[in-house]
A and B are shown apart, each in its own frame.
Chain A
Amino acid sequence: DIQMTQSPSTLSASVGDRVTITCRASQSISSWLAWYQQKPGKAPKLLIYKTSSLESGVPSSFSGSGSGTEFTLTISSLQPDDFATYYCQQYHSHPLTFGGGTKVEIK
């Protein structure tokens, strides 16, 4: 199985901050990486697929980059609606695996 490791597990930030979350794969996954946002009591929401492709309707303040084993999700200017938990997911091979999550909290 491909292990996905996210860091940090918790991040405290203020509105307007630039935020970066890292996801590392235990082996190369090419560009087959997705990012999700999840709010309490809600299903995950797809933000980015194939490392850097923005899902329709997602603000352009979100961006993704990376390849191989190291990937990042960047929020260029944190908004109140962005406080949530973020997960990465690899879909290079089965079993599909998720990172442990990064909770973005209000500082």
Chain B
Amino acid sequence: QLQLQESGPGLVKPSETLSLTCTVSGGSISSSTYYWGWIRQPPGKGLEWIGSINYSGSTYYNPSLKSRVTISVDTSKNQFSMRLSSVTAADTAVYYCARPYSGSYAYDYWGQGTLVTVSS
């Protein structure tokens, strides 16, 4: 059974960089059919897609975040990561990593999510 687990600091100071890693178990991140994704959800609000990456490092980003976000992959560790720079309180959210259905972008496997709070 595929499992995804987010990890990273739960508290980040304003103007600093938020870094999260998603560790995939029960399956290989190296499959060519998947673009692994990051999605976030501010407290009490809806879902926002951040971006996606495949095993070779090909990426898609949300234009609203593109200038601040970098997504990378480490196939040797079966992980992919996200960095969001110059964070503000508006970046406080639960961050999810997810895997879509093969050949699509409908997400059928999700991590449990990790709350990241931006505060001094």
Interface positions of A (Cβ within 8 A of B): 1, 32, 34, 36, 42-46, 49-50, 55, 87, 89, 91, 94-101
Q: Is the CB of B113 within 8 A of A43?
A: yes
Q: Is the CB of A50 within 8 A of B106?
A: yes
- Whole-angstrom distance from the CB of A56 to the nearest CB of chain B? 9
For this complex, 22 residue pairs linking A to B, each with C-beta atoms less than 8 Å apart, are A32-B104, A34-B107, A36-B107, A43-B96, A43-B112, A44-B96, A44-B110, A45-B110, A49-B104, A49-B108, A55-B108, A87-B46, A89-B106, A91-B100, A91-B104, A91-B106, A94-B60, A95-B49, A95-B60, A98-B48, A98-B49, A101-B46
- Closest residue of B by beta carbon distance from A35: B106
Indicate the size class of the contact surface on chain B.
20 to 34
A43-B6 Cα distance, complex, nearest whole Å: 12
A93-B116 Cα distance, complex, nearest whole Å: 28
Which of A32, A42, A46, A50: most chain B CB closer than 10 A? A46
A50-B96 Cα distance, complex, nearest whole Å: 22
A8-B94 Cα distance, complex, nearest whole Å: 24
